[in-house]
Structure 1
């Protein structure tokens, strides 16, 4: 390691200690400082860690957390970035706080934003990329889905020997040739049945000839066993298969992957995909099934992923929503609830949320009207837009309340008529809400994602 790297690491670690000790923060600045002193500071850490990168539209955070939980069953040092600092300086800060073990394999499992991947792989070369899915999301930041996919393919190409482990049920991940080798995971749990995706679904045109794709099985959105009847484009052979879903409700799921029974303590088909991705990583690294089972069963909710928060006797489930496909999967999960519940929908439109809120009109809010909810609160900075969408969906005016300020939303929750409450919130609304809940003593912390 060069003298410059030594100085950069020392300066970064000092800044990190000061910020964490006295200011309870510092997820990005220490890395920024270290990079300014030595732009190649990550080269030192690349030699110490086997780096796994998780990217895609939905599922990055939980897939990362589950992968870390599994690998920790076998390896002592598994580094990750739970605070959501997934730009280059944040990744450097993550490594600055690490204590790698000598003479053993050290893992770093990093969640990386799609638009940031190409920048991160300028500095560090992963051994494995996990691609979860690509859906239309924050078009002001990412553009259309094929633009997003090109971004992550270009990022992966900077580490050409790294394997891409991709969701084989997503047609887009089979649409371009890559310099990286590829393996695929996916669902093979139902008998073939000829069908088409829902008419309001993106990514259902064949990327080779632009004919409408057909399916022999659909899990949700455009994911499934697809094929093109015009040119023969079809789902690749799966290297890791989920062959059965034996149980699913709003809080858990059980399933079979490559002949082994597993379970997770969160509900919804979309979370089973996250578990499948994590288990596939583990199989790739030859982790034993009993350790995969223990890692998946680890019941610690992460930032906005079905966190349970008690607010003066109300059992509130906080769920992050950010695009139509994710929202619809959350709505399906909520619909499995065996008990009555109220709904709080918080909508912001800051840069991290995506400033365009038109996506809420593609979400199936009409399903909430069919659930006959006793009370609904529309809140957040764009509460008027949220309230209008819910009214158009069929929520009766006498059951719908608009509340802009989050302090007032928190005060209103104990007055709701049901014990259970679902809180659906966009990214910055989750951050703001958790901060206020922490200030009021309902949770510890507030801004961290882990």
Structure 2
């Protein structure tokens, strides 16, 4: 390591110590400081690690957490970026915080933002990329799904020897030739049945002949066992297969992957995909099934991902929502709840949320009108848009309250008529609400999840 890198590392680690000691946080600032001294510091910090990168529109955070939990059953040194700092400065901060045991294999499992991947892989060399999915999301920042996919393909191409482990059920991941070798995971849990995706679904045209894709099985959105009836384009062979979904509730799932039974302590079909991806990574590194089971059974909820917060007798489940496909999967998960619940929908439109909120109209809010929901709150910077969407969906005005200030939400929770409360919030709304929960003593940490 050169003098410049040594100084950058020293300054970064010193600032990190100071921030954690005196201010209880600061996930990206040490990385910014280190990069300002040596723009190449990441390549020095990461050079001795076996690196797994997880990217895609939905599922990055939970897939990363599950992968880390599983690998820790087998390996002592597993570094990750758990606070959602998934851009370059945050990745540098992650490596600055490392305290590996000498002489042992070192892993880094990193969640990396799709738009940042090309920049990050200039300085570190992953050996495995995991592609979860590509859905329409923050179009003001990412553009159309094909633009987003090209971003991550270009990022992977900076490490051409690395293997891509992709969601084989997503047609986009089989649409172009990549520099990197690809293998796939996916669902094979239902008998073949001829069907087509919903008309309001992206990426259902064959990339070879532009015919509309048909399916023999659909999990959700455009994911499934697809094929083109006009040419030879079809879902690729799966290396890792989920063959049975034996149970599903709003808080858990049981399933079979490659003849092994597993359980996940998080609800929703979309989270079973995350578990499948994490299991595939573990299998790639020859982790035994019993250790995979132990890793998946780890029941510490991830920041904003069905995180349960107890507020004076109210059980509040906080869920990040950011695009129509993810929202619809959350709504489906909520629909499995056996008891009545109250609902809070918080909509912000800052840069980190995506400034265009039109996506809420593609979400199936109409499903809420059929559920046992005696009280609904619309809040956040764009509470009026959220309230209008809920009214159009069939939520009567007598059930609906608008609360613009997120600071007031915690107080409003006390007056809700049910013990169970779901809170659906965009990214900055999650941060603001968690900060308020922390100030009130309901959780530790707050903004970053630390």
SS in 2 for 1:290: helix
Q: Distance in 2 between matches of 1:32 and 1:393?
A: 44
CA contact (8 A) 2:46 2:95 kept: no
CA contact (8 A) 2:118 2:158 kept: yes
Determine the structure 2 residue equivalent to 1:139. 139
SS in 1 for 2:117: helix
Q: Distance in 2 between matches of 1:410 and 1:43?
A: 44
Alignment of 1:424-439 (within 5 A): 424-439=424-439
Determine the structure 1 residue equivalent to 2:311. 311
- C-alpha distance after superposition, 1:134-157 (max 9, x if no partner): 000010000000000000000000
Bigger shift: 168-177 or 371-380? 371-380
Deviation at 1:269, TM superposition (A): 0.2
Determine the structure 2 residue equivalent to 1:46. 46
Determine the structure 2 residue equivalent to 1:294. 294
* 2:346 paired with 1:346: yes
* 2:408 paired with 1:394: no
Q: Distance in 1 between matches of 2:100 and 2:47?
A: 11
CA contact (8 A) 2:27 2:448 kept: no
- C-alpha distance after superposition, 1:386-438 (max 9, x if no partner): 00000000001111111111232211111111111110000000000000011
- C-alpha distance after superposition, 1:240-299 (max 9, x if no partner): 000000000000000000010001100000000000000000000000000000000000
Alignment of 1:359-438 (within 5 A): 359-438=359-438
Bigger shift: 84-93 or 140-149? 84-93
Deviation at 1:102, TM superposition (A): 2.4
Deviation at 1:312, TM superposition (A): 1.6
Determine the structure 2 residue equivalent to 1:256. 256
CA contact (8 A) 2:253 2:268 kept: yes
Determine the structure 2 residue equivalent to 1:168. 168
SS in 1 for 2:295: helix
- C-alpha distance after superposition, 1:40-59 (max 9, x if no partner): 22222333211100000000
Deviation at 1:440, TM superposition (A): 0.9
Deviation at 1:21, TM superposition (A): 1.3
Determine the structure 2 residue equivalent to 1:209. 209
Bigger shift: 30-39 or 77-86? 30-39
CA contact (8 A) 1:254 1:262 kept: yes
- C-alpha distance after superposition, 1:63-90 (max 9, x if no partner): 0000000000011111001111111111
Deviation at 1:366, TM superposition (A): 0.3
Q: Which runs of 5+ in 2 are unaligned?
A: none
Deviation at 1:346, TM superposition (A): 0.5
Q: Distance in 1 between matches of 2:282 and 2:168?
A: 17
SS in 2 for 1:369: helix
* 2:325 paired with 1:325: yes
Deviation at 1:124, TM superposition (A): 0.6
Aligned residues: 450
Structure 1 runs (4+) deviating above 3 angstroms are: none
Q: Which runs of 5+ in 1 are unaligned?
A: none
Deviation at 1:26, TM superposition (A): 2.4
RMSD: 1.0
Determine the structure 2 residue equivalent to 1:65. 65
CA contact (8 A) 2:25 2:448 kept: no
SS in 2 for 1:32: helix
Alignment of 1:65-214 (within 5 A): 65-214=65-214
Deviation at 1:24, TM superposition (A): 2.1
Deviation at 1:372, TM superposition (A): 4.2
- CA separation of 1:449 and 1:117: change in aligned 2, threshold 3 A: farther
Deviation at 1:23, TM superposition (A): 2.1
Q: Distance in 1 between matches of 2:276 and 2:35?
A: 35
Bigger shift: 404-413 or 388-397? 404-413
* 2:270 paired with 1:267: no
Q: Distance in 2 between matches of 1:203 and 1:329?
A: 18
Q: Distance in 1 between matches of 2:449 and 2:257?
A: 28
Q: Distance in 2 between matches of 1:265 and 1:123?
A: 36
SS in 2 for 1:244: strand
Bigger shift: 33-42 or 203-212? 33-42
SS in 1 for 2:219: strand
TM-score for the superposition, normalised by structure 1? 0.99
Deviation at 1:206, TM superposition (A): 1.0
TM-score for the superposition, normalised by structure 2? 0.99
- C-alpha distance after superposition, 1:106-128 (max 9, x if no partner): 11000000000001001111111
Q: Distance in 2 between matches of 1:339 and 1:68?
A: 33
CA contact (8 A) 1:48 1:100 kept: no
CA contact (8 A) 1:68 1:109 kept: yes
Q: Distance in 1 between matches of 2:384 and 2:42?
A: 46
Bigger shift: 351-360 or 438-447? 438-447
